[in-house]
Structure 1
Amino acid sequence: MIKLNKDPLYEALMKDIAHYITKEESINLITEAYNLAKEKHLGQMRRSGEPYITHPVAVTRILTELQAGPNTLVAALLHDTVEDTDLTLENIEKKFSKDISQMVDGVTKLNKLSFQNTSQADNHQKMLLAMARDIRVVLIKIADRLHNMRTLDSMSPEKQVEISRETLDIYAPIAHRLGLFRLKAELEDRSLRYVDPAMYYKVSNLVKAKKEERENSINNVIEYIKDLFEESNLRDFEIKGRIKNIYSIYKKMVNGGRQFEDIYDLLAIRIIVDKVETCYQSLGIIHAHFTPIPKRFKDYIAVPKPNMYQSLHTTVLHSDGTLFEVQIRTHEMDEVAEYGIAAHWAYKENKVYSKEREQFEIAQKLKWYAELLKITEDQDDILGSSEEFVDTVKTDIFTANVYVFTPKGEVIELPAGATPIDFAYRIHTDIGHRMVGAIVNNRIVPIDYQLQTGDVVSIKTNKNSSGPSEDWLKIAKSPHAKHKIKTFLNKDKQEQLIASGKEILDRELSNLKEEIEINDDFVKKNFEKNQLSTVLDLYLEIGKGTISAKSVIAKLVPDDNKDVILKRQLERTTRQLIATSETGVVIEGLTNPQIKLANCCTPIAGDDIIGYITKGSGIVVHRHECPNVLEFDKNRVIKAYWGSNVNRKYATWLKIIGTQRQSLLSDVIFVVNSQGISIAEISAISNAQLESIIHIKVSCTKKDEVDTLITNLHKVPQVYYVEREIR
């Protein structure tokens, strides 16, 4: 074992560690870290005048109270060295391990975060947790803040208030959410002393005024209950008392408008027994010898809180007029209630540890239990209302979010999977509409790039941008961005429908021999029942298809000319129906329209199809069963047909899934080739379920050929799924 000359600071640290760490290799590791930290911080002083090494040692000693593992203690000793000395992360990794250097790096990054904007405190809380993928980093940071609060007297009054508010807004709630309730209570009490000193000392004095009396009262009640239990032959039990911390009392008085004397759970007695049955037996004894207060009994054993908290709660009146809250639970329930997730951090030397295993166990709990654990125990202290509690549960547990920065350091919260489009619209609607590109972490990224927590995002705009497209709706993740995009597109669609309506009516008018001008007066006179008053209104309705151009012509043309006009229209329609575009698709009423077959569902002659008028791409033809059709604006969907003389090949995708075997791909290719069908593209992958997934693009003349191919592919041994793929 490494020896040090007599060093009181080191000896105090090792005394704390000795309670649960005894292995020589672990002791040596911690000693090396202490020596290195002391060497690197040599000559550095804190504002209090103490040597700087006292700070990392104090942080480490706080972590020993949670029985943190050796690596965490080493990282705590070194947590300021990279930022404040010439020691590098590479040095730490080489001398200790990558695990330790990564923890130090995590704490260093958290130290650089600025929390000036307290209105974003909740975002900061969640971002800290999200950024620190290794939760041990958060532990070190909370311990670091606690020691800073213990030595805050050396700071200026302005700094004391600023740091204390930050602690109440950010660090105390994180400690609460992670089950570090003793640390949380101390952070709160110390912060209140600087934030609201008048109330702090008022509450403190109220507590102290009758401290001896209350302690005597608690002790007397505890002794009385012990006697009662022994008379009832109860043996395996533990009874302890507590007085609520100053900040909790302050919150009840200030936020709840309650008088000090009206706080029922100011004094509490906790009874810990061996099994559930004994909990109820103990409750019976308490109620038989104390007066229970109506409506103050809660059975959280039979019906646990959402955070898995279990206990019996009752408030009783002692014969001397003192009110007590009594909590009755088993040893296991008490561990959950007292330590929460922190109980899972306790280091045990007889257990084989790895970072991955440790993190897996913690992460399992954090998904549900750590975020909720104890949030409800002091609900009226921490949260103002049940609505806020529900919102906290939804936001922190059931929603996975990312937290990114603007170039100025403002934190923006977005849904998981969010893209630069979501970020742009969160900043401002005009930024989103004029967005032409994005830079993330000083690197140009595509607009469908998925943002990660900690990314610094900058949006490039152009005032001449044509605005968002339909495709953006598929890329955006946030409801806010989608709403803004849809609003823009609806306005743009309206302009397109007006143009389309004018084109349709002009085409009909061109068949008339005489020149006819349509004005607002004509519209008001003939379409008042349709609530139309301008020519633009009329164009819009024609474009939407709610009013036909023929009905407009009917009101314009004298009766004796109507038969001639109708004959011309029928002849033209007949010609258009038998004509085909190069796609083989016919759109009724349009001559030489711009038609494109959709890439997502790859229609083939014989499929049931529809047309969709797009922005700038003409008409895109989709299969009826294409899921994208459900999202289309019905006003822009038009009828489409296959021509009678289609003579071309169409590409379509098939997806084939089968049991993973070496010759499956070659068998599939053989079946396709034997049917005389060409293969345009093919790819195959394997997944964790030992399946082979084949994507194949084939070229066929009609739907019947594809249907036959699908039937034949189903006959390939160990193939159990074949479908046309929609991308």
Structure 2
Amino acid sequence: MSADNAVDAAPAPDDEGRRRGLRRIDLRRLGRAALLGPGGREWGLPAGGRGQRVPDAIEHLAKVHRLRHPGVGAAGIETLRRAYLLAESSHRGQMRKSGEPYITHPLAVTLILAELGAETTTLTASLLHDTVEDTEVTLDQVREEFGEEVCYLVDGVTKLERVDYGAAAEPETFRKMLVATGSDVRVMSIKLADRLHNMRTLGVMRPDKQARIAKVTRDVLIPLAERLGVQALKSELEDLVFAILHPEEYARTRAMIRANSVRPDPLAAVADAVRAVLREAGIAAEVAIRPRHTVSVHRVLLKRGADELGGCEFGRILVLVAEDADCYAVLGELHTCFIPVIAEFKDFIAAPKFNLYQSLHTAVADEEGRIAEVLVRTRQMHRVAEAGVIALGNPHTVDEPPQAADGERVDPTQPGWLSRLLEWQRDAPDPDTFWTALRADLAQDREVTVFSAHGGDTTGTIRLPAGASCVDAAYALHGEAGHACVGARVNGRLAPLRSKLRDGDIVQILLDETGASGPSADWLEHVRTPAARIAVTRWLELHPVPPADEEPAARAERPAYSADTAAEDEPVAVTDLAGAAVRLARCCTPVPPDEVTGFVIRGGTVAVHREECPTAVRMIGAGREPVPVRWRGGRPAGAGFRATLLAEALGRPRLLADLTEAIAGQGVGIVSASVEPPQEHRVRHTYTVELPDAEALPSLMRAMRSVPGVYDVYRAQRAMAAARR
């Protein structure tokens, strides 16, 4: 938790007027004030030792806290004072790398939380959040002096020792914090404020350490701030990370913002027009211009694909009203008196985001064609939009939260995504697996809601990350019983397990009641949730499938022959190894006159591969000794040769019918066929065919190439080799 850095970067001249995040703390002034006690004297020095009174640091914190919570009494302020005294005395003598007293860090973190409206218990724990980790103070002492809640919060944000955990200390610390957050989200609130102050003061660190901390902030802390709805923290963290990891793009974007700030703001004229419309309609509302932060401007640039932005694109108009109904009244006036851009309308009041966010989004054009984005929300929605769960106060002082029909928590201070995260982390004991899965899970920034069905009846809802498949739904609904999933119905129709689910879909998972089925390695290409990925990976590790070239000879689809037993006229591959059975490898389907080589596999069988087969190349590279094999001439009675061919063509109607007709016209049987989805009007067909003899292969390929639209036909091995390079 502790940060060795300490110097605040000075904001750009236009930052203070345009910043929508949190007010920065002057650490130089704060560091001096933090050393002063009540009555204006320095700790450990006689009164008047300096000859100049400096305000006590706790007074500023108390002032901010009372401003956000007017009902805070003397007892609450006294608790903060005692916590500050314990923190200051415990950290006394500790300095940050910049030379500032260490107490400036917990005090700055607490002021950040106070400005967001955190209640007294959170502020108390924030003042003490580094004492157990960095001083001689114990959790028992914190519990005795400040109670169980404060002790729990302090313990939740205390890092695990690298001495005990080694390289796993960081992921295991985050696991510990997330588990604690599952019971009390205030743990993560303190961690986010702590990271914000550390990021603000990262300048004294080595560049490599700055980059490492910034990447963890980007991959873990910023997504957590987004999910907890703490937009004020998230936006500033994004800007700080952007400045470290992409300094050139950051500098260009900041220069663009500064250049726009000295020009007349066209949004001001649109905002005045909005005020006039609402005043005439008798709707009491506050109308303000909300500048975009740096990363937001950069995203708009990328979205537009332009080098410059229009004046109205550097900010949005914010309309605050008293009641929900007023939001829709404002929307009606805007769409009546201005030209609405319908594609930009979103109703996050009727359908809130999963991170508590509520607002109406729209865009309108005025008479001069200036298009402005407008956000409409109540003042309470605005507080929650800025501070998220912090604005909701102490989760332990509210009544028991209601439950949704599917058991999903409705209580926003204990969100469903966190419950699901806590469930799958139990199945990831390995720190590296947990760390990778956590980053992947947090990278999913959108959710879809689907309905589960059984026997035609809807039984509940499931929330999944956008892009989740039927396999994800199977594990979300059935846990490890999802291993037996053999199919799915989506909206009443059979659908492939790889099908991506969309908002409002009704999904029914079909399970193999015999338990004989299990996951396929292909499932890993379709799953998006860590729970499903971990479950499938673990099952595959416990049930390894032998490679195709090492399957027992008894499972071969064609009879095996040896040089001693083969009849003179049987065209098989033979080997000089006495008594060895021979089988043709199914990965490359060799046929005469292919150049071939062999390898002894389980049971003493010799598997015959084409010489350019990647499997053969891999086995030689691994030190496997090849066995000489050769073809025998002649034709066996009733026997044939299998080969896999790929045909690439321009997509058109009847292509499949024409290709199968061409194959049948050569007297060749089709064992299996598949068609890949079209890509840029091109399609690929794969056919496994049974040839009457090896000489039929060239003529078959010529016949397939003659089909209109087909521009290439080749053996499967070429595609495999290209994929493995």
TM-score normalised by length of structure 1: 0.49
Q: Which has the higher contact order (CA 8 A, sep 6+)?
A: 2
Q: Point out the structure with the larger helix share.
A: 1
TM-score normalised by length of structure 2: 0.50
